[in-house]
Amino acid sequence: MRTMKLGTSQLEVPVLAVGCMRINSLEKTEAERFVQSALDAGANFFDHADIYGGGTCEEIFSEAIHMNDDIREKIILQSKCGIRKGMFDFSKEHILESVDGILKRLKTDYLDILLLHRPDALVEPEEVAEAFDLLESTGKVRHFGVSNQTPLQIQLLKKSVKQPLVANQLQLSITNSTMISNGMNVNMLNDSAVNRDGNVLDYCRLNDITIQPWSPFQYGFFEGVFLGNEKFPELNQKIDEIAAKYEVTNTTIAIAWILRHPARMQPVTGTMNIDRLIDCCKAADVHLTRQEWYEIYRAAGNILP
């Protein structure tokens, strides 16, 4: 698996992260096979969140990988906190309590990366800074980042937080590519010109923050996958055409399209299907041409100004 540096850190990570949000849908032996298949493919970066399965996903993962000191040093663990029932919570108390729960469920002494999950309207950056300082000084968390945050929200945190924010998880797929399209429709009188995220793509590139696209196969907000979907005939025809050229599946091309962007993103897979996971991993070795990238972009219904 091809690797990259995560943000401004020296942490070398695979160009794909294995999302574990649905691992609780697998039986014990299935979970073991899934995790081992990921490791065999060089995909040793696992993304979690305390809210996934109410914490059961982290527990199932630690059992499936048979967590011990030797295994721990061979994998990279990322988890997220901040979402509670009916609210978001970036208070110092909640962050510290959440991390302790995450570590217990994952059966580890530390996280490689902790992300703040969704923006908290009541965030007090000074409290976040105090929590991060404690987590870093005690060795419980080595790197920090955010999820679904705009440039100004990140800047607000950085006013108090001294640790580099190395990642920002954002929704991105071929059909959900507004962060790309609004940058090409500057000053135009069309919907694609609407700036919905404060130019987060450019901001992250300028500040060496790794974007981690989530739901790379979804359209809308968890409305379904676009691959093989009759709602997207032109897109699927184009993807299938390019997949045949590279002798890979449409899954591989959908991930390769994201990896082709020069922002050096790290897509987060969500599949629990081993064959599809392997197809995702193959995207690390596929480099689409500029023409192919734009053909796929246009086939998704995007219009160049």
Q: What is the DSSP string of 137-167?
A: HTTSEEEEEEES--HHHHHHHHTT--S-EEE
Distance CA 292, CA 179 (A): 19
Tokens 């691992």, residue located: 23
Kindly report the backbone phi and psi dihedral angles of residue 290, in degrees, each rounded to the nearest multiple of 5, phi listed first. -60, -45
Of 53, 32, 47, 13, nearest to 216 by C-alpha is 47
Kindly report the backbone phi and psi dihedral angles of residue 185, in degrees, each rounded to the nearest multiple of 5, phi listed first. -115, 40
Distance CA 127, CA 9 (A): 23
Distance CA 296, CA 183 (A): 17
| Catalytic-role residue among 52, 203, 219, 297 | 52
Of 294, 276, 260, 265, nearest to 228 by C-alpha is 276
Asked about 246 being catalytic, the answer comes back as no
Q: If residue 115 lies in a helix (H) or strand (E), which one and from where to where?
A: strand 111-117
Which residues are designated catalytic? Answer: 52
